[in-house]
Chains A and B, each alone.
Chain A
Protein backbone atom coordinates (compact mmCIF):
# COMPACT_ATOMS: atom_id res chain seq x y z
CA UNK A 1 0.00 0.00 0.00
CA UNK A 2 2.79 2.35 0.98
CA UNK A 3 4.66 1.54 -2.24
CA UNK A 4 1.60 2.48 -4.34
CA UNK A 5 1.20 5.72 -2.43
CA UNK A 6 4.84 6.67 -2.98
CA UNK A 7 4.58 5.85 -6.71
CA UNK A 8 1.43 7.94 -7.06
CA UNK A 9 2.96 10.82 -5.15
CA UNK A 10 6.06 10.73 -7.34
CA UNK A 11 3.94 10.67 -10.47
CA UNK A 12 1.88 13.65 -9.31
CA UNK A 13 5.07 15.49 -8.36
CA UNK A 14 6.49 14.75 -11.80
CA UNK A 15 3.38 15.99 -13.56
CA UNK A 16 3.34 19.28 -11.68
CA UNK A 17 6.96 19.99 -12.52
CA UNK A 18 6.91 18.64 -16.09
CA UNK A 19 6.13 22.13 -17.37
CA UNK A 20 3.66 22.98 -20.11
CA UNK A 21 3.18 20.16 -22.57
CA UNK A 22 4.24 21.81 -25.82
CA UNK A 23 1.54 21.91 -28.49
CA UNK A 24 3.79 22.80 -31.39
CA UNK A 25 6.43 21.10 -33.53
CA UNK A 26 9.80 22.84 -33.88
CA UNK A 27 11.02 23.74 -37.36
CA UNK A 28 14.45 24.81 -38.50
CA UNK A 29 16.15 25.28 -41.83
CA UNK A 30 19.54 26.66 -42.81
CA UNK A 31 20.96 28.29 -45.93
CA UNK A 32 24.49 28.91 -47.14
CA UNK A 33 24.58 32.60 -48.03
CA UNK A 34 27.48 32.12 -50.43
CA UNK A 35 29.63 34.67 -48.58
CA UNK A 36 31.08 32.34 -45.92
CA UNK A 37 28.11 32.89 -43.65
CA UNK A 38 25.21 30.58 -42.93
CA UNK A 39 21.72 31.68 -41.86
CA UNK A 40 19.42 29.38 -39.93
CA UNK A 41 15.79 30.23 -39.39
CA UNK A 42 13.37 28.62 -37.02
CA UNK A 43 9.79 28.51 -36.00
CA UNK A 44 7.04 26.34 -34.66
CA UNK A 45 4.32 24.64 -36.66
CA UNK A 46 1.60 26.73 -35.01
CA UNK A 47 3.22 29.89 -36.30
CA UNK A 48 4.76 31.06 -33.02
CA UNK A 49 8.15 32.72 -32.96
CA UNK A 50 11.48 31.03 -32.29
CA UNK A 51 13.12 34.23 -31.06
CA UNK A 52 15.52 33.46 -28.24
CA UNK A 53 15.96 29.77 -29.05
CA UNK A 54 19.53 28.62 -28.37
CA UNK A 55 21.62 27.62 -31.39
CA UNK A 56 24.76 25.45 -31.17
CA UNK A 57 27.31 24.95 -33.93
CA UNK A 58 29.53 21.89 -33.41
CA UNK A 59 32.20 20.05 -35.33
CA UNK A 60 31.54 16.48 -36.48
CA UNK A 61 32.72 15.05 -33.16
CA UNK A 62 30.23 17.18 -31.23
CA UNK A 63 32.76 19.65 -29.91
CA UNK A 64 31.18 23.12 -29.53
CA UNK A 65 32.41 25.68 -32.04
CA UNK A 66 30.05 28.51 -31.29
CA UNK A 67 26.72 29.25 -29.69
CA UNK A 68 24.07 31.93 -30.08
CA UNK A 69 20.35 32.61 -30.09
CA UNK A 70 17.69 33.14 -32.73
CA UNK A 71 17.07 36.87 -33.11
CA UNK A 72 13.74 38.75 -33.20
CA UNK A 73 13.14 37.51 -36.75
CA UNK A 74 13.80 33.91 -35.65
CA UNK A 75 17.08 33.92 -37.56
CA UNK A 76 20.65 33.09 -36.58
CA UNK A 77 23.58 33.93 -38.85
CA UNK A 78 27.10 32.70 -38.23
CA UNK A 79 30.49 32.34 -39.92
CA UNK A 80 30.63 29.08 -41.83
CA UNK A 81 33.17 26.80 -40.08
CA UNK A 82 36.03 25.21 -42.03
CA UNK A 83 35.44 21.50 -42.25
CA UNK A 84 32.36 19.43 -41.40
CA UNK A 85 29.94 20.87 -38.88
CA UNK A 86 26.48 20.44 -37.40
CA UNK A 87 23.92 22.95 -36.23
CA UNK A 88 21.51 22.31 -33.37
CA UNK A 89 18.28 24.20 -32.76
CA UNK A 90 17.65 23.74 -29.04
CA UNK A 91 14.20 24.73 -27.82
CA UNK A 92 14.16 22.34 -24.92
CA UNK A 93 13.39 18.69 -24.34
CA UNK A 94 11.73 17.11 -27.38
CA UNK A 95 12.27 20.30 -29.36
CA UNK A 96 15.74 19.87 -30.76
CA UNK A 97 16.66 19.73 -34.40
CA UNK A 98 20.09 18.85 -35.69
CA UNK A 99 21.15 19.77 -39.21
CA UNK A 100 24.26 18.50 -40.97
CA UNK A 101 26.50 21.16 -42.49
CA UNK A 102 26.80 19.20 -45.74
CA UNK A 103 23.01 19.47 -46.19
CA UNK A 104 23.20 23.26 -45.99
CA UNK A 105 23.23 24.63 -49.52
CA UNK A 106 22.68 27.97 -51.21
Chain B
Protein backbone atom coordinates (compact mmCIF):
# COMPACT_ATOMS: atom_id res chain seq x y z
CA UNK B 1 0.00 0.00 0.00
CA UNK B 2 2.81 2.42 0.96
CA UNK B 3 4.60 1.56 -2.28
CA UNK B 4 1.52 2.38 -4.27
CA UNK B 5 1.16 5.77 -2.57
CA UNK B 6 4.79 6.55 -3.28
CA UNK B 7 4.36 5.43 -6.87
CA UNK B 8 1.34 7.65 -7.48
CA UNK B 9 3.04 10.60 -5.78
CA UNK B 10 6.02 10.05 -8.01
CA UNK B 11 3.77 10.05 -11.06
CA UNK B 12 2.15 13.29 -9.99
CA UNK B 13 5.54 14.91 -9.48
CA UNK B 14 6.49 13.81 -12.97
CA UNK B 15 3.26 15.17 -14.41
CA UNK B 16 3.84 18.65 -13.01
CA UNK B 17 7.54 18.84 -13.68
CA UNK B 18 7.38 18.34 -17.44
CA UNK B 19 8.11 21.30 -19.71
CA UNK B 20 5.28 23.24 -21.34
CA UNK B 21 5.49 20.94 -24.29
CA UNK B 22 4.85 17.22 -24.05
CA UNK B 23 1.31 18.38 -24.69
CA UNK B 24 -0.20 15.98 -27.15
CA UNK B 25 -3.43 16.34 -29.05
CA UNK B 26 -5.05 12.92 -29.28
CA UNK B 27 -7.45 11.63 -31.91
CA UNK B 28 -8.00 8.25 -30.38
CA UNK B 29 -9.64 4.96 -31.24
CA UNK B 30 -8.58 1.66 -29.62
CA UNK B 31 -7.85 -0.13 -32.90
CA UNK B 32 -6.53 1.39 -36.11
CA UNK B 33 -6.39 -1.81 -38.20
CA UNK B 34 -9.80 -3.48 -38.36
CA UNK B 35 -10.91 -6.30 -40.60
CA UNK B 36 -14.47 -5.03 -40.85
CA UNK B 37 -16.30 -2.06 -39.36
CA UNK B 38 -18.57 -3.54 -36.72
CA UNK B 39 -20.38 -0.40 -35.57
CA UNK B 40 -20.30 3.39 -35.45
CA UNK B 41 -16.79 4.68 -34.77
CA UNK B 42 -16.21 6.53 -31.52
CA UNK B 43 -13.22 8.86 -31.46
CA UNK B 44 -11.90 10.76 -28.46
CA UNK B 45 -10.25 14.15 -29.03
CA UNK B 46 -8.22 15.06 -25.95
CA UNK B 47 -5.38 17.54 -25.40
CA UNK B 48 -3.27 16.07 -22.64
CA UNK B 49 -0.01 14.43 -21.49
CA UNK B 50 -0.38 10.83 -22.63
CA UNK B 51 2.68 9.22 -21.03
CA UNK B 52 1.93 10.22 -17.49
CA UNK B 53 -1.83 10.56 -18.01
CA UNK B 54 -1.11 14.00 -16.62
CA UNK B 55 -2.64 17.41 -17.00
CA UNK B 56 -5.51 17.59 -19.49
CA UNK B 57 -5.91 21.01 -21.10
CA UNK B 58 -9.29 22.50 -21.98
CA UNK B 59 -9.91 22.30 -25.70
CA UNK B 60 -11.77 25.08 -27.45
CA UNK B 61 -14.18 24.25 -30.27
CA UNK B 62 -12.19 22.61 -33.10
CA UNK B 63 -11.67 24.67 -36.23
CA UNK B 64 -11.91 21.67 -38.55
CA UNK B 65 -12.37 17.93 -38.26
CA UNK B 66 -12.66 15.72 -41.31
CA UNK B 67 -11.67 12.39 -42.83
CA UNK B 68 -10.19 11.65 -46.25
CA UNK B 69 -10.83 8.05 -47.30
CA UNK B 70 -9.61 6.07 -50.25
CA UNK B 71 -10.29 2.50 -51.29
CA UNK B 72 -7.29 1.24 -53.23
CA UNK B 73 -4.47 3.48 -54.35
CA UNK B 74 -6.29 4.36 -57.59
CA UNK B 75 -9.65 4.83 -55.92
CA UNK B 76 -11.59 8.07 -55.74
CA UNK B 77 -10.71 10.01 -52.57
CA UNK B 78 -13.69 10.91 -50.41
CA UNK B 79 -13.52 13.84 -47.99
CA UNK B 80 -16.20 13.87 -45.30
CA UNK B 81 -16.72 16.74 -42.88
CA UNK B 82 -17.03 15.37 -39.34
CA UNK B 83 -17.67 18.61 -37.45
CA UNK B 84 -21.35 17.74 -37.09
CA UNK B 85 -20.54 14.58 -35.12
CA UNK B 86 -18.56 16.36 -32.41
CA UNK B 87 -19.86 16.41 -28.86
CA UNK B 88 -18.16 18.11 -25.88
CA UNK B 89 -17.08 15.75 -23.10
CA UNK B 90 -15.01 15.92 -19.95
CA UNK B 91 -11.83 13.84 -19.95
CA UNK B 92 -10.28 12.76 -16.68
CA UNK B 93 -6.58 12.08 -16.32
CA UNK B 94 -4.75 11.07 -13.15
CA UNK B 95 -4.33 14.68 -12.10
CA UNK B 96 -7.35 16.62 -13.34
CA UNK B 97 -10.30 16.81 -15.70
CA UNK B 98 -10.41 18.90 -18.83
CA UNK B 99 -12.73 19.84 -21.68
CA UNK B 100 -12.42 17.47 -24.60
CA UNK B 101 -14.54 16.20 -27.47
CA UNK B 102 -15.76 12.95 -28.87
CA UNK B 103 -17.13 12.09 -32.28
CA UNK B 104 -19.39 9.18 -33.11
CA UNK B 105 -18.90 8.65 -36.83
CA UNK B 106 -21.74 6.65 -38.39
CA UNK B 107 -20.79 3.18 -39.59
CA UNK B 108 -21.84 4.05 -43.14
CA UNK B 109 -19.00 6.58 -43.42
CA UNK B 110 -16.31 4.13 -42.31
CA UNK B 111 -17.60 0.80 -43.62
CA UNK B 112 -15.77 0.66 -46.98
CA UNK B 113 -12.46 -1.12 -47.34
CA UNK B 114 -9.43 1.14 -47.43
CA UNK B 115 -7.70 3.95 -45.55
CA UNK B 116 -9.28 6.66 -43.43
CA UNK B 117 -7.08 9.66 -42.67
CA UNK B 118 -8.68 11.56 -39.79
CA UNK B 119 -7.57 15.20 -39.52
CA UNK B 120 -8.15 17.59 -36.64
CA UNK B 121 -7.37 21.31 -36.72
CA UNK B 122 -7.95 22.37 -33.11
CA UNK B 123 -8.49 25.85 -31.78
CA UNK B 124 -5.08 27.17 -30.70
CA UNK B 125 -4.53 26.65 -26.99
CA UNK B 126 -3.19 29.47 -24.85
CA UNK B 127 -0.32 28.19 -22.73
CA UNK B 128 -0.13 30.78 -19.95
CA UNK B 129 3.21 29.61 -18.57
CA UNK B 130 4.96 30.49 -21.82
CA UNK B 131 2.53 33.21 -23.00
CA UNK B 132 2.23 31.39 -26.27
CA UNK B 133 -0.45 29.66 -28.31
CA UNK B 134 -0.13 26.01 -29.36
CA UNK B 135 -2.04 24.50 -32.25
CA UNK B 136 -1.45 20.80 -32.84
CA UNK B 137 -2.81 19.82 -36.24
CA UNK B 138 -3.33 16.10 -35.76
CA UNK B 139 -3.69 13.05 -38.01
CA UNK B 140 -4.66 9.48 -37.21
CA UNK B 141 -4.99 6.83 -39.92
CA UNK B 142 -7.34 3.88 -39.70
CA UNK B 143 -7.63 0.98 -42.14
CA UNK B 144 -10.52 -1.37 -42.88
CA UNK B 145 -9.84 -4.82 -44.35
CA UNK B 146 -6.16 -4.32 -45.18
CA UNK B 147 -6.82 -2.78 -48.59
CA UNK B 148 -4.42 0.19 -48.76
CA UNK B 149 -5.37 3.68 -49.87
CA UNK B 150 -4.16 7.21 -49.15
CA UNK B 151 -2.20 6.66 -45.92
CA UNK B 152 0.97 8.19 -47.45
CA UNK B 153 -0.69 11.11 -49.18
CA UNK B 154 -0.94 14.69 -47.93
CA UNK B 155 -4.30 15.69 -46.55
CA UNK B 156 -3.57 19.33 -47.36
CA UNK B 157 -2.82 20.41 -43.80
CA UNK B 158 -0.65 23.47 -43.03
CA UNK B 159 1.58 21.40 -40.78
CA UNK B 160 1.63 17.72 -41.59
CA UNK B 161 3.73 14.59 -41.12
CA UNK B 162 3.70 12.37 -44.22
CA UNK B 163 4.20 8.74 -43.22
CA UNK B 164 6.63 6.52 -45.08
CA UNK B 165 5.37 3.48 -43.18
CA UNK B 166 1.71 2.61 -42.69
CA UNK B 167 0.66 4.14 -39.35
CA UNK B 168 -1.76 1.23 -38.81
CA UNK B 169 0.48 -1.53 -40.14
CA UNK B 170 3.39 -1.67 -37.73
CA UNK B 171 4.72 -4.59 -35.73
CA UNK B 172 6.55 -3.85 -32.49
CA UNK B 173 10.17 -3.46 -33.56
CA UNK B 174 9.35 -1.92 -36.95
CA UNK B 175 10.56 1.60 -37.65
CA UNK B 176 8.13 4.40 -38.26
CA UNK B 177 9.45 6.94 -40.74
CA UNK B 178 7.90 10.21 -41.77
CA UNK B 179 8.60 13.49 -43.49
CA UNK B 180 7.74 16.72 -41.69
CA UNK B 181 6.08 19.28 -43.96
CA UNK B 182 4.91 22.87 -43.72
CA UNK B 183 2.46 23.95 -46.43
CA UNK B 184 3.52 20.78 -48.24
CA UNK B 185 7.24 21.51 -48.17
CA UNK B 186 9.72 19.40 -46.18
CA UNK B 187 11.14 20.94 -43.00
CA UNK B 188 14.81 19.96 -42.55
CA UNK B 189 16.00 19.53 -38.98
CA UNK B 190 12.53 19.75 -37.39
CA UNK B 191 12.36 18.97 -33.67
CA UNK B 192 9.94 16.15 -33.01
CA UNK B 193 8.56 15.00 -29.68
CA UNK B 194 7.66 11.34 -29.40
CA UNK B 195 5.38 10.11 -26.66
CA UNK B 196 3.97 6.71 -25.82
CA UNK B 197 0.37 6.41 -24.65
CA UNK B 198 1.21 4.78 -21.35
CA UNK B 199 -2.29 4.64 -19.87
CA UNK B 200 -5.15 3.02 -21.71
CA UNK B 201 -8.03 5.39 -22.43
CA UNK B 202 -11.36 4.17 -21.03
CA UNK B 203 -13.80 4.81 -23.85
CA UNK B 204 -16.89 4.43 -21.66
CA UNK B 205 -15.80 6.53 -18.68
CA UNK B 206 -13.81 9.12 -20.67
CA UNK B 207 -10.70 8.77 -18.59
CA UNK B 208 -7.21 7.29 -18.53
CA UNK B 209 -6.77 4.03 -16.64
CA UNK B 210 -4.64 4.33 -13.49
CA UNK B 211 -2.42 1.44 -14.52
CA UNK B 212 0.77 2.48 -16.32
CA UNK B 213 2.24 0.07 -18.87
CA UNK B 214 5.74 1.47 -18.31
CA UNK B 215 6.46 2.17 -14.67
CA UNK B 216 10.12 3.10 -14.56
CA UNK B 217 12.11 5.50 -16.71
CA UNK B 218 15.79 6.45 -16.21
CA UNK B 219 14.96 10.18 -16.29
CA UNK B 220 12.54 12.69 -17.87
CA UNK B 221 14.24 12.34 -21.26
CA UNK B 222 12.20 9.17 -21.61
CA UNK B 223 8.79 10.62 -20.79
CA UNK B 224 8.68 12.79 -23.87
CA UNK B 225 11.43 11.74 -26.23
CA UNK B 226 12.87 14.31 -28.61
CA UNK B 227 14.32 13.43 -32.00
CA UNK B 228 15.26 15.51 -35.01
CA UNK B 229 14.35 15.26 -38.65
CA UNK B 230 17.33 15.07 -41.00
CA UNK B 231 18.35 17.42 -43.79
CA UNK B 232 15.45 16.20 -45.91
CA UNK B 233 12.86 16.60 -43.17
CA UNK B 234 12.74 12.86 -42.63
CA UNK B 235 12.83 11.03 -39.31
CA UNK B 236 13.03 7.37 -38.33
CA UNK B 237 11.89 5.91 -35.02
CA UNK B 238 12.23 2.27 -33.97
CA UNK B 239 9.17 1.26 -32.00
CA UNK B 240 10.07 -0.68 -28.84
CA UNK B 241 6.62 -1.44 -27.47
CA UNK B 242 3.14 -2.22 -28.74
CA UNK B 243 0.52 0.49 -28.42
CA UNK B 244 -0.03 4.05 -29.60
CA UNK B 245 2.82 6.46 -30.25
CA UNK B 246 2.44 10.16 -30.93
CA UNK B 247 4.88 12.19 -33.03
CA UNK B 248 4.74 15.97 -32.76
CA UNK B 249 6.87 18.19 -34.99
CA UNK B 250 7.15 21.43 -33.04
CA UNK B 251 6.43 24.84 -34.50
CA UNK B 252 6.78 23.77 -38.12
CA UNK B 253 3.55 25.27 -39.43
CA UNK B 254 3.52 28.56 -41.38
CA UNK B 255 1.27 30.41 -38.91
CA UNK B 256 3.55 31.97 -36.28
CA UNK B 257 1.09 34.38 -34.68
CA UNK B 258 -2.37 34.08 -33.16
CA UNK B 259 -4.32 36.88 -31.48
CA UNK B 260 -1.17 38.96 -31.39
CA UNK B 261 0.90 36.35 -29.58
CA UNK B 262 3.50 33.86 -30.73
CA UNK B 263 2.05 30.53 -31.85
CA UNK B 264 3.62 27.10 -32.19
CA UNK B 265 1.76 25.37 -35.00
CA UNK B 266 2.73 21.72 -34.64
CA UNK B 267 2.16 18.65 -36.84
CA UNK B 268 1.07 15.53 -34.96
CA UNK B 269 0.51 11.98 -36.15
CA UNK B 270 -0.46 8.94 -34.10
CA UNK B 271 0.68 5.44 -35.06
CA UNK B 272 -0.06 2.07 -33.54
CA UNK B 273 2.26 -0.93 -33.19
CA UNK B 274 1.07 -4.49 -32.57
CA UNK B 275 3.02 -7.36 -31.04
CA UNK B 276 3.61 -10.26 -33.43
Enumerate chain A interface residues (CB-CB to B < 8 A).
27, 29, 31, 41, 43-50, 72-74, 106
Contact flag A27-B113 (CB < 8 Å), given A45-B147, A47-B149: yes
Chain B residues in the interface with A (C-beta under 8 A)? 36, 71-76, 107, 111-114, 145-149
Q: How far is the CA of A50 from the CA of B149 in the complex (A)?
A: 14
Across the interface, B112 reaches (CB within 8 A) one of A41, A48, A49, A106, namely A41
Those 7 A-B pairs whose CB atoms lie nearest each other, nearest first? A47-B73, A47-B148, A43-B147, A47-B72, A43-B72, A49-B74, A49-B72
Would you call B146 and A74 a contact (CB within 8 A)?
Answer: no
Give the interface SS of chain B, mostly helix, strand, loop or mixed: loop
- Contact with B71, one of A31, A41, A46, A106 (Cβ below 8 angstroms): A41
Residue of B at shortest CB range from A42? B113
Complex CA distance for A74 and B114, rounded to whole angstroms: 12
Residues of A within 8 A of B114 (CB): 43
Which residues of chain A are near B71, meaning CB under 8 Å? 41, 43, 73-74
Starting from the known contacts A27-B147, A31-B111, A41-B112, 17 additional A-B residue pairs (CB-CB under 8 Å) come to A27-B113, A27-B145, A27-B146, A29-B36, A29-B113, A29-B145, A43-B72, A44-B147, A45-B146, A46-B148, A47-B147, A48-B72, A49-B74, A49-B75, A50-B72, A73-B71, A74-B71
Closest B residue to A46 using CB positions: B148
The answer to whether A73 touches B76 (Cβ under 8 A) is yes
Number of CB contacts from chain A to chain B under 8 A: 43
**In whole angstroms, how far apart are the Cα atoms of A41 and B73 in the complex?**
15
- Minimum CB–CB distance from A14 to chain B (whole Å) comes to 32
A45 to B113, CA, bound (A): 10
Q: Identify the closest chain A residue to B148 (Cβ).
A: A47
Closest to B70 in A: A47
Instruction: Report the separation of the CA atoms of residues A29 and B35 in the bound assembly, to the nearest whole angstrom.
Output: 11
The CB with the most chain A CB atoms within 10 A, among B36, B107, B112, is that of: B112
How far apart sit A47 and B72, CA to CA, in the bound complex (Å)?
4
Cβ contact within 8 Å between A44 and B36: no
> Which residues of A have CB within 8 Å of B36?
29
Could you say which residues of chain B place their CB within 8 Å of the CB of A47?
Answer: 72-74, 147-149
- B-chain residues with CB within 8 Å of residue A27 when the two chains form the complex: 113, 145-147
Give Cα A29–Cα B144 distance, bound, in whole angstroms.
11
Bound together, the chains give a CA A49 to CA B75 distance in angstroms of 7
Which B residues are in CB contact (< 8 Å) with A48?
72-74
* Sample (14) of A-B pairs whose CB atoms are under 8 Å apart: A27-B113, A29-B113, A31-B111, A41-B113, A43-B71, A43-B114, A47-B72, A47-B147, A48-B73, A72-B76, A73-B71, A73-B75, A73-B76, A74-B71
**Chain B residues whose C-beta falls within 8 Å of the C-beta of A44 in the assembled complex:** 72, 147
**Cα-based distance from A46 to B107 in the complex (angstroms):** 24
A50 to B147, CA, bound (A): 12
Distance from A77 Cβ to chain B, minimum over Cβ atoms (Å)? 13
Give the nearest-CB partner of A29 in chain B: B113
Q: How far is the CB of A43 from chain B (nearest CB, A)?
A: 5
Q: How far is the CB of A55 from chain B (nearest CB, A)?
A: 16
CB neighbours of A45 from chain B (8 A): 146-147
Which residues of B are found within 8 Å of A73, using beta-carbon distances?
Answer: 71, 75-76
Q: In the complex the two chains form, what is the Cα distance from A47 to B149 in whole Å?
A: 7
- Distance in Å: Cβ of A53 to nearest Cβ of chain B: 12
